[in-house]
A and B are shown apart, each in its own frame.
Chain A
Amino acid sequence: MFVKELVINFYETAAIIVFGIGFVTLLLNRNIIKKIIGFNFMDTAIYLFLASKGYIAGRIAPILAEGTDPTVYQKAVNGVLTNVPTVEKYINPIPAGLVLTGIVVSVSFTAFFLALAVRLYREYHTLDLHEIISIMNKEENKE
C-alpha cells in the first residue's frame, strides 16, 4: 500500500529524493562551490514538487485555448459575468507563479553566495571550508 502510493505520486517521490541528494551534498561536501550546487539541487526539487502538485491529468496550460475568442469573456452585464472560461479545461495556475518566485530567489542567492566564495578565495586561497576555519583560528590565536 505504502509503495503503491509512492508509485502513484512518483513525481513527488522523485522530488523528495533529489531534495535528499542536495541536502546530503550540502552537509558532507567541504568545498563551498559544491555546497552551492547542493542548494541548487534542493531548489530544483522544490520546483518539481510544486509543478507536479499543480498538474491535472488531461488538461492544458492556463493560457486561453487556441481558437476561442477572448472578447466574449471580457463583458459583464450589470456586474454579473455572463460568459466565463471553463475551469475544467485548464490546470492550476498558482504553482506556476510560486515556481517563478522560487527561481528568482534561487538565482539571487546563488549569485550572492558565489560572490562571497570569490571573496573568500581571494582572502584564503582555498575553497575548503575546514581549511578556511583553521586558518581563521590560527589568525585569531596570533592576535
Chain B
Amino acid sequence: MISLIDTLKSFVDGAPVKKEDDTKLTIKKVSKHHETSFTERVTSMIEKGESKTARSAYTVVAVIMAVIIIACLIYTVSFLPHFGGADNPANSSEVVKAYIENGIHDTGATNFVAGMILNYRAFDTLGESSVLFIAATTVIILLFRHKTKEEEKIATVEEEVYEDKHDVILRHGALILVPVTLMFGVYVLFNGHLSPGGGFSGGTILGAALILYNLAFGDKSTQKFFNYNINKVVKISALTFYALSQSYMFFTGANRLPIPDINGVAGSLISSGFILPLNIGVGFEVACTMFGFYSLFDREEI
C-alpha cells in the first residue's frame, strides 16, 4: 500500500516511491538486521549516510552554524568605519600615502596599482603567477591523456562531421573578431603601467581570442601554431623570466635598475623599468593557462 504520506515524503526527500514488494523486502531485511547489535546498526547507518534523522540533523546544525557566523559578521560590520570616509584607518595610513606620493618617482608607472603590484609588491605577484602555473600543472596531471589510435580516428571523423567548420556565421564572425580581440589584448598588456589593465587582464583577453579561434577553426589549425610543447615552453620561460628579473632587482637594492633605455620618461610607453616586460611575461603565462584550462576540459589535451 502506498500511502499519501509516503508519496509526500518521497517527493520531499527525493527517494524512490516504494512498491508493495519493496516494502516486504525491506521488512525482511530489517528483521535480519536485528541480529546485529544496536550500536553496530547505528554506526553502519551513520557510515552509509542512510539515516534520515542524521541527515536532517546535519541540515539543521549547518543552517544554525551559518546563521550564527553571518550574525557575528553583520554585527561586526555595524562597528566598521563609515563607507567612503577619507579618515578611515585603512585609507589614511602611511602606506597609501607613500604609494601615491612616491609612486611615480620610485616606479615610474602612472598607474599606481601597477606600480604597487609589479614593483613594491612584486614578490606577491610572483606568488600569484606560481599559483596559476601550479593550477595549470595539476589540471594537466588530472585530465591530460594521450589518445589511442582508435580514439584519434574517431576524433578525426567526429571533427569532419560535427565540428563547427560548416558554421558559416561562427567562422566569419571569428575572422572579424579574433584579430580585434588579439589587438585589444596586446594594447591592454602593453599599457598596463599607464592605464587600467596589465598582465592578468590582457592575458585573459589573449586567452579568449585563442579560445574563439579554436572554436571556429578546429583543433588542427590551432595546433599548427599552439600545441602542448609551445604552451609548455612559453609558460615556463615566462615564469622563469619573471622570477630571475625580479630576484635580480631585489638583490640589487629593490629600486629601478639604472638603465636609461627601459626607465624612460614617466607616461611614455617604454618607461617604468621592468614593469612592462613583467606585464608581458605575466600576460603570456595567463593566456597559456586560460587556453590550457579550456582545451583540457574540452577534449583532455592541449
Contact = CB atoms under 8 A, between A and B. Distances in A.
Contacts, number: 185
B265 interface: yes
- Interface of chain B, main secondary structure: helix
Interface in B181-202: 195-196, 200
Contacts of B48: 134, 137
A115 interface: yes
Nearest to A105: B131
B269 interface: no
Contacts of B88: 53, 56
A119 interface: yes
B234 interface: no
A109 to B, nearest CB: 7
B128 A105 contact: yes
Given A70-B110, A87-B96, A28 B59 contact: yes
A12 interface: yes
A11 B83 CA distance: 8
Chain A interface category by residue count: 35 or more
A84 B104 CA distance: 9
Interface string B135-153: 1101100110000000000
Contacts of B117: 97, 100
Interface in B263-302: 265-267, 293, 296-297
Contacts of A114: 297
Interface of B: 47-50, 59, 62-63, 65-66, 69-70, 73-74, 77-80, 82-86, 88, 90-91, 95-97, 99-105, 108, 110-113, 116-117, 121, 124, 127-128, 131-132, 134-136, 138-139, 142-143, 195-196, 200, 265-267, 293, 296-297
5 contacts: A9-B77, A24-B63, A27-B65, A56-B85, A64-B104
